[in-house]
Chains A and B, each alone.
Chain A
Amino acid sequence: MEVHTHDIVIVGAGLAGLRAAIAAAEISKNIEIAVISKVYPTRSHSVCAQGGTAAVMREGDSYDLHAWDTVKGSDFLADQDVVEFFVKRSSEEIIRLEHWGMPWSRTPDGKIAQRPFGGHSFPRSCFSADLVGFQEMHTLYGRALAYDNIKFYDEWYVTSLIAEEGRAKGLTAIELKTGTMNAFRAKAIIMATGGACRIYRFTTYSYTATGDGMVLAYRAGVPLEDMEFVQFHPTGLVPSGVLISEAARGEGGYLINRKGERFMERYAKKMMELAPRDIVARAEMTEIMEGRGFEGPSGPYIALDLTHLGKEKINERLPYIREVTQRLLGIDPVHEPIPIAPAAHYSMGGIRVNIKTATPLPYLFAAGECSCLSLHGANRLGTNSTAECLVFGAVAGEEAAKLALTSEFPDLPKDRLVEEEKRVFDQILGNEGGERISEIRMQMMNVMNEKVWIFRDEKRLTEAVKEIRALKEKFKRAKVEDSSKVFNLGLINALELDSMLELAEVTALSALNRRESRGAHFRVDYPQRDDANWLKHTLVYYTVDGPRIDYAPVTITKWQPTERKY
């Protein structure tokens, strides 16, 4: 098996991965960085982010205010030392991106413009029309090409993380073009593989964002933190789930039920449509469950009405939203409301890391959505995720570089490499069972959509855990229909499903375990927030006998938990 040796190996080439690569490359020309991505970098799901990137930049705003908005938005589960560090670093990332060519939208006097966004008490969302993730990605990718010490491994799929003697040592990965298994050896490894929401049927996610990195770390003994906290974005286009940015509401859009009411008045009188996402998603779900949703051929929906904004404003601030609703539904938001419903959108949880993005496994870091610092606690504010990827992507790159400059290369255990080849090519690709990957995947998505959704209860969560475990057994008898060596998407889909089933089990189990409601996690049977017993992070560890649950305290610096009302 060919072994590729690099000082730093980064898995994932989205916002966090690319930012980490550049940060490491800037520390020293002598550091060699490999970026492994299963898709070409500009295909990463990060390009789908639309609304904006939050930063304190202008008179009238303050670090404390941004931090308070974030902590309150997190329903007090965020670690406040992380939040305080984060808000101070975001604006320098905005400027740095701009210097690299980012086409930020501007004020009339040429400065970077900012707009209001849900849960923020100051308009601090820097934006680029409604394509912030897309523009940030292409800016970072373009900039990354300027460094001779960044090497891209495009369309390589990482199958395992090699951890031995208590530390991360390397990875195994399939080169899709040839179908061969390769090994990577590194002084530091950064996971930047994104979130887990493809376990749901109705999601804003791209097909390729399957959360593989979380499972790579999990199976190597790293705990996954706060996995029960899944953000449901209020406005996913029906029926595809495609994201319609919160910016549509930021620019003045209304949410209307079947009776023509702006129903948010009953749920968040002050912030209305710009209340935090968990509150709006629950409001929409309640309206639908109580019969006030519209009925459509693909199920019930709520109307997002932009018709009062006018063609000019929509073309200037929301051009992509207009384009995508026309292309996918034949609807022009200038004239007609858009059918939307809450969609699985973001993983607040992920690989546990400290404030320096280091996981409990030495030499392994994680940044971006796949990690949990915890910056977002039980609920994330819009525009804080792209900011997180930039701030902590940079931190991960810097920390990995500093570590690499003072470390030696590890030796890879040959028997692990042989084992992994057997697991992937014999056990999975060579499986002669009768079950179908696409069927198991659909069944998993249905279980999650029906039993681990916005309103949760013990009965259905218990059933969900049981059903997912049954699906994991079924997977052991699944056949990969494609037997070719070259570009075997069927094999990749099988490996992705293997990851997703693991994540589905951890998510359902974490949700079953937390007997309170907080942020995005709502238990119908425990509808109150319970700080006395539950002001703590959930940790799930992989064991041979099944997941083991533990807890970690929340770091509180300035803000004691209070009632969360908007």
Chain B
Amino acid sequence: MVTLNVVRYDSEKKQYVTSTYKVPAKKGMTLLDALLYIRDNLDGTLTMRHSCRMGLCGSCAVIANNKHVLACYTQLLDLSTDTITVTPLQNLPMIKDLVPDLKPFFDRYKLVKPYLIRPEEDLRKDTEFLQSPEELSRYWDLTLCIKCALCYSACPVLKADKDFYGPAAIATIHRFAIDSRDKATKSRVEEITRNGLWWCARCYLCVEACPKFIKPGEAITDLKVLSCREVGVLERGAKHAVAFKQNIEKYGILNEANLIKDTVGIGGLLKLLPLGLKMAIKGKPLTPFQKPIPKIEEIRRIYEETRGS
């Protein structure tokens, strides 16, 4: 027997309520099977989205024991516990029970133009655009996104700012930016650079949450590199990344004062003087004067070897 504590949103009272159920667990039973068992036998009001039960449609995304999962792709017995707490996705307005409103998530896609962009006359050609298997493999993984919103739910930046596009949408931009057939790479990269590409905090919680192992966080990092090349180092996030890299190459250890100066300029550094004073009093003074570490040549050699790769 497995106990399921399901945290459900009550649409009338506008609050969360927990319902507890006991489900007979069998080998091969998925979390979705357990939830459907509850619907059919214990509580016909328990509501959750589900459709394909084969990990392709993305309907059944939930959080089980704090893990972001697809209910249909999660073996009940693999959760290795007698008690499973199931909660709905985060970062989205709630409708009812385990059903969030996905409109904010899907609305992002209209913004990122998820279709090949080519001049009109190309689209009228009656043969395919050539693409080698190698070119296809460069973006293939990113096409496997099932739009389940698990990454969107896991993203801490979205907790802070609902205007962030979210990992899935940004990874989609990258999918088209590196599709050899697309002719709008530059404008795609420009657009997202101006619209929050650098708000991504590189926490990689989206990579952990993705049930298809697409690694949206890595796609975003790759897109940031592309952005520096195509658009330049203009946004604060870009400056921070470049400053960090140069800082380590110069000193072998991170010098925060110089990192801040190179990211936000002398003006920005001066604004942080009160904070700097407090830190000095507590015994952690920030100073721009930094001696490179011993054997700094070894670090610089790593930079030499990997330059351009």
Binding site for B on A (CB under 8 A): 39-40, 42-45, 47-48, 92, 94-95, 98-101, 103-112, 129, 131, 134-135, 138-139, 141-143, 145-146, 154, 177, 206-208, 239-240, 242-243, 320, 323-324, 327-330, 436-438, 480-484, 486-490
Interface assignment of B300: CB less than 8 Å from any CB of chain A = no
Residue from A40, A108, A134 in contact with B106 in the complex, judged by beta carbons closer than 8 Å = A40
B52's partner among A48, A92, A104 (CB-CB below 8 A) is: A48
Are A43 and B116 within 8 A (Cβ)? no
B residues lining the A interface (CB < 8 Å): 11-12, 28, 30, 39-41, 43-45, 47, 49-59, 73, 75, 95-97, 99, 101-103, 106, 109-110, 113-116, 118, 122-123, 125-133, 135-136, 139-140, 143-147, 176, 179, 181-182
Q: Which residues of B contact A98 (CB under 8 A)?
A: 128-129
Question: How far, in angstroms, from A329 to B75 measured CA to CA in the complex?
Answer: 9
Q: Tell me which residues across on chain B come within 8 A of A330, comparing CB atoms.
A: 75
> Which residues of chain A are within 8 angstroms of B50 by Cβ–Cβ distance?
207
Residues in A whose Cβ lies below 8 Å from that of B75: 327, 330
Contacts known (A92-B126, A101-B176); A43 close to B54, Cβ less than 8 A: no
The contact sample of 12 A-B pairs, CB cut-off 8 A, is A39-B49, A40-B147, A43-B58, A95-B127, A103-B140, A103-B143, A243-B54, A327-B73, A327-B75, A329-B28, A438-B44, A481-B44
A108-B133, A484-B96, A490-B45 as given contacts; A43 in contact with B115, CB under 8 Å: no
From A239, A243, A436, A489, contact of B47 by CB (8 A)? A489
Known: A95-B127, A487-B11. A207 touches B44 (CB 8 A): no
Residues of A within 8 A of B12 (CB): 484, 486
Contact A45 B28 (CB under 8 A): no
Please indicate which of the listed interface residues B11, B12, B43, B179 has the most CB atoms of chain A within 10 Å of its own CB: B11
Contact among A42, A99, A142, A242 with B129 in the assembled complex (CB-CB below 8 Å): A99
Measured CB to CB, the closest approach of chain B to A309, in angstroms, equals: 18
Give the residue name and chain of the B residue nearest to A316 (CB). B133
B260 to chain A, nearest CB (A): 41
Is the pair B55, A104 in contact by a Cβ cutoff of 8 Å?
A: no
Closest chain A residue to B57, Cβ basis: A43
The answer for the CA separation of A139 and B56 in the assembled complex, in Å, is 15
Distance, CA A208 to CA B110, complexed state (A): 25
CB-contact partner of A146 in B73, B115, B135, under 8 A: B115
A142-B109 contact in complex given A95-B128, A112-B128, C-beta closer than 8 Å: yes
Please give the distance in Å from A212's CB to the nearest CB on chain B: 14
User: Cβ of B96: which chain A residues have Cβ within 8 Å of it?
Assistant: 484, 486-487
Q: Is the CB of A438 within 8 A of B40?
A: yes
A433 to B25, CA, bound (A): 31
State how many angstroms separate the Cβ of A76 from the closest Cβ of chain B. Answer: 33
Are B11 and A146 in contact, with the CB atoms below 8 A?
no
Contact of A145 among B115, B126, B139, B182 (CB under 8 A): B115
Using A100-B116, A106-B136 as known contacts, list a sample of 4 further A-B pairs with CB atoms less than 8 Å apart, ordered by residue number in A: A92-B126, A99-B125, A104-B128, A240-B54
Neighbouring A residues of B58 by C-beta, 8 Å: 42-43
Q: For residue A240, which residue of chain B has the nearest CB?
A: B53
A246 to B45, CA, bound (A): 38
Collect the chain A residues with CB atoms within 8 Å of residue B95's CB.
177, 486-487
When the two chains form their complex, are residues B45 and A484 in contact, meaning their CB atoms are under 8 A apart? Answer: yes
Report the bound CA distance from A129 to B143 in whole Å: 12
Indicate if the CB atoms of B57 and A135 lie closer than 8 Å. Answer: no
**A206 x B115 contact (CB < 8 A):** no
**Given A95-B127, A101-B176, A138-B143, A47:B45 Cβ within 8 A:** no
Indicate if the CB atoms of A99 and B54 lie closer than 8 Å: no
Given A135-B143, A239-B28, A487-B95, residue A103 in contact with residue B136 (CB < 8 A): yes
- The residue from B44, B123, B139, B146 contacting A42, defined by CB atoms under 8 A apart: B146
CA distance in complex: A484, B41 (Å): 19
Closest 7 CB pairs of A and B: A481-B44, A142-B114, A110-B130, A101-B116, A438-B40, A486-B11, A206-B52
**A90: min CB distance to chain B, Å:** 13
Are A242's CB and B53's CB within 8 A? Answer: yes
Q: Which of A95, A101, A134, A146 contacts B126 (CB 8 A)?
A: A95
Q: Contacts A103-B140, A242-B53, A324-B54; is A43 near B28 (CB within 8 Å)?
A: no
Q: Which has the most chain A C-beta neighbours within 10 Å: B12, B133, B181? A: B133
B106 and A482: CB pair below 8 A?
Answer: no
Chain B residue at smallest Cβ distance from A324: B54
Question: Considering the chains assembled together, what is the distance between the CA atoms of A25 and B47 in angstroms?
Answer: 35
Distance in angstroms from B146 CB to nearest chain A CB is 7
Which of B45, B97, B125, B139 is the one whose CB lies under 8 Å from A103?
B139
- Which of A40, A94, A104, A240 has most chain B Cβ within 10 Å? A40
Residues B47 and A482 in contact, CB atoms below 8 Å apart: yes
Q: How far is the CA of A239 from the CA of B123 in the complex (A)?
A: 45
Across-interface contacts of B147 in A (CB, < 8 A): 40, 42, 138
Contact B128 A482 (CB under 8 A): no
Complex contact A323–B143 (CB within 8 A): no
> Measured between alpha carbons, how far is A252 from B47 in the docked complex, in Å?
42
Residue of A nearest to B126 (CB): A95
A108→B113 CA distance, assembly (Å)? 29
Query: Cα distance A94–B126 when bound, in Å?
Result: 10
The answer to whether A327 touches B52 (Cβ under 8 A) is: no
Q: Which residues of B contact A39 (CB under 8 A)?
A: 49, 51, 57, 59
Query: A110 touching B11 by the CB < 8 A rule?
Result: no
CB of B120, distance to nearest CB on chain A (Å): 11
Complex-state Cα separation, A146 to B30, whole angstroms: 37
Measured CA separation A484–B127 after assembly (Å): 53
Taking a contact as CB atoms under 8 Å apart, the answer to whether B57 and A206 are in contact is: yes
In the assembled complex, the Cα of A107 lies from the Cα of B132 at a distance in Å of 7
Q: Closest B-chain residue to A208, C-beta based? A: B51
Min C-beta distance of B92 to chain A, whole Å = 13
Q: Measured between alpha carbons, how far is A476 from B70 in the docked complex, in Å? A: 35
- A206 and B130 in contact (CB under 8 A), knowing A142-B114, A142-B115, A482-B47? no
Most chain B CB neighbours (cut-off 10 Å) among A143, A208, A329, A436: A208
- Report how far A183 CA is from B73 CA in the complex, Å: 37
Q: Provide the bound-state CA to CA distance between A177 and B114, in Å.
A: 26
Report the bound CA distance from A328 to B56 in whole Å.
Answer: 13
* Other-chain residue from A110, A177, A483 in contact with B101 (beta carbon distance below 8 A): A177
A145 to B111, CA, bound (A): 9
Measured CA separation A104–B45 after assembly (Å): 42
Contact, CB under 8 Å: A45 / B129 = no
Given contacts A95-B127, A101-B116, A145-B114, contact A110 B122 (CB under 8 A): no
Give the residue among A105, A206, A437, A481 with the most B Cβ atoms within 10 A.
A206
Q: Is the CB of A106 within 8 A of B132?
A: yes
A319 to B212, CA, bound (A): 12
Q: Is the CB of A145 within 8 A of B110?
A: yes
B73 touches A101 (CB 8 A): no
Contact between chains at B45 and A482 (CB < 8 Å): yes
Complexed CA–CA distance, A92 and B124 (Å) = 10
Partner of B57, one of A47, A95, A490: A47
Chain B residues contacting A437 (CB-CB under 8 Å) are 44
Structural contact, A47 and B47, CB atoms closer than 8 A? no
How many Å lie between the Cα of A141 and that of B110 in the bound state?
10
Chain B residues with CB under 8 Å of A111's CB are: 128, 130
Q: A45 near B44 (CB under 8 angstroms)?
A: no
A48 touches B28 (CB 8 A): no
Q: A42-B57, A207-B53 known; A481 and B99 CB under 8 Å?
A: no
Per the bound structure, the CA–CA distance linking A177 and B54 in Å amounts to 25
- Determine the distance from Cα of A106 to Cα of B132 in the docked complex, in whole angstroms: 6
B57 CB to nearest A CB, Å? 4
Which among B51, B101, B122, B140 is the interface contact of A207 at CB below 8 angstroms? B51
